[in-house]
Chain A
């Protein structure tokens, strides 16, 4: 990790800059001077100047919880993507492709349909159904040849299944009371995030990221394949279970707080691999940093582009899909991912 010290420093600066930018930009413009004023007075315990009370309210109650959620969700989706890729030795998978995201969205929608949106039930249901989805995808993929492509295809199958489930629930839902919230989960966005949501998500995502960070190096031997990892002394089944459970948990927490946002979990780990390599010692923390920054920038763009706010998932797909196509083509030239 030492050789990447500069890379980490630069990325931290970039994250800080995007946070500052995200706090001042938006329909309600906060001047940089006002931002500094508010931060300084609040930190030193004083009262904010009355002329800045509007800005202060926007900053603390609207912008900050949203910024925190975007960074955390970005980090969670990306790290879980990197973990799933290494776990399954498959550079083409992500929480989205494996069906974890749609499974979790289905879980959240289902809980909302029956339990009218108790946040804990939504989270729990998202987690359980996310876990079911990834287990299904893994088992189908393993039984159908256990290749890079078969796992991707089984993920597509599982995703289709849960997307159908979501559509069915939407169709059955009360169009005035339930439907709007359900649409929200299928088209991820941070625009209704308040502190309560951020804190709920953080209380799961942060411990999850810490666990994955602490166990990061073991993903190196695991990425060599089950047999090789076993002969190096790793209890692969147990390790796989831990990584899958924690990876799914943080995705479920993300989906519950802001809905399903695609592509981040696929694209960011790849960008991170290109920059710091595949050694998980550096890859996991760097993926978290990059994912947080990426999501925050996307969300800031989504709400400050001219023409009114668009769901951030639209933007991540617009950027992610072409990037993925580029990866596919260049990797084919370098010998491909097959075997």
Chain B
């Protein structure tokens, strides 16, 4: 295997993934890796295939071609349970048909490690509370999940992912539907978790500025093709962003801070 050296360093390897619904191809030959301890942003305009790619990675969708490997082992050969011990997913904004408390939600992160006829123990609940405390949301434990604000829900789901204790964390647009302050709050938590636990984190984002601020690596999709991937410094530049979003942009370095991108005169659609 040509990528064996690379596979040892990178925890999550996306290797030649292609996917389509019936006759409509969505993803073509996507290849990149996410290393341990890195926070990788997945950027691209609407309908570029970000969410689909995330679902292929966590095995909810089966790719037509290619493999997802974790530590060199293909995910396609694993049971749901085994996959859930490797990667935790924070879904896009969700509301529940039935209301569970925040704590009950977090406790469900234990499902993949629980015996078939076992129930979560008091010890599991204590640990779930500890995970909530780590993210500063232990006060929400007894509240109904459906009554929480968008930001609080996202933090509870992050606590669930933390409690799932996986080396890989996948987030599907965790900041959509959130107000300005909460977007940064959530991404702060994601960055801190990634560093503290040495996770490999992959996050889809709408806002390139959030990506520039938080991500160490970037993967850019366009029409289901991998457009660019690499370190933030290499990828976050004017030409790439203009090609991907189809508009004129300026990229500026804030003194002592991250780069930011601002729209220029908007371009005609090609």
* Interface mask (B47-60 → A, CB under 8 Å = 1, otherwise 0): 00000000100111
Report whether B94 and A233 are in contact in the complex, using a CB–CB cutoff of 8 Å: no
Report whether A224 and B94 are in contact in the complex, using a CB–CB cutoff of 8 Å: yes
With A214-B117, A217-B119, A217-B120 in contact, do A234 and B97 touch (Cβ < 8 Å)? no
The count of chain B contact residues (Cβ–Cβ below 8 Å) is: 34
B133 at interface (Cβ–Cβ under 8 A)?
A: no
Chain A residues closer than 8 Å to B85, beta-carbon distance: 233
Rounded to whole angstroms, the CA-CA distance of A218 and B59 in the bound complex is 20
The stretch from A25-33, A135-143, A271-279, A295-303 touching chain B is A271-279
Rounded to whole angstroms, the CA-CA distance of A214 and B119 in the bound complex is 9
Rounded to whole angstroms, the CA-CA distance of A216 and B161 in the bound complex is 22
The stretch from B8-16, B103-111, B176-184 touching chain A is B103-111
With A86-B98, A89-B97 in contact, do A230 and B59 touch (Cβ < 8 Å)? yes
* Interface mask (A184-220 → B, CB under 8 Å = 1, otherwise 0): 0000000000000000000000000000001101101
**Given A231, A279, A337, A339, which contacts B100 in the complex, CB threshold below 8 Å?**
A279
Report whether B79 and A235 are in contact in the complex, using a CB–CB cutoff of 8 Å: yes
With A214-B117, A215-B117, A227-B91 in contact, do A232 and B98 touch (Cβ < 8 Å)? no
Report whether A337 and B97 are in contact in the complex, using a CB–CB cutoff of 8 Å: yes
Chain A residues closer than 8 Å to B100, beta-carbon distance: 220, 223, 277-279
The number of A-B residue pairs with CB atoms under 8 Å apart is 81
Report whether B80 and A230 are in contact in the complex, using a CB–CB cutoff of 8 Å: yes
Chain A residues closer than 8 Å to B59, beta-carbon distance: 230
Chain B residues closer than 8 Å to A228, beta-carbon distance: 89, 91, 94
Min CB distance B204 to A, Å, is: 15
Report whether B117 and A233 are in contact in the complex, using a CB–CB cutoff of 8 Å: no
Report whether A224 and B96 are in contact in the complex, using a CB–CB cutoff of 8 Å: yes
Min CB distance A268 to B, Å, is: 15
Chain B residues closer than 8 Å to A281, beta-carbon distance: 119
Chain B residues closer than 8 Å to A278, beta-carbon distance: 98-100
Kindly list 17 other residue pairs between chains A and B, CB separation below 8 angstroms, not including A227-B91, A278-B100. Answer: A91-B98, A214-B117, A215-B116, A215-B117, A217-B118, A221-B111, A230-B59, A230-B60, A231-B58, A231-B88, A232-B108, A232-B164, A233-B81, A233-B85, A234-B84, A235-B80, A281-B119
* 19 A-B pairs (CB sep. < 8 Å): A86-B98, A90-B97, A91-B97, A217-B114, A217-B118, A217-B119, A218-B111, A220-B104, A224-B108, A228-B89, A230-B60, A231-B84, A233-B111, A233-B112, A235-B79, A235-B81, A236-B80, A279-B100, A281-B119
**Which B residues form the contact surface with A (CB < 8 A)?**
55, 58-60, 79-81, 83-85, 87-89, 91, 94-101, 104, 108-109, 111-112, 114, 116-120, 164
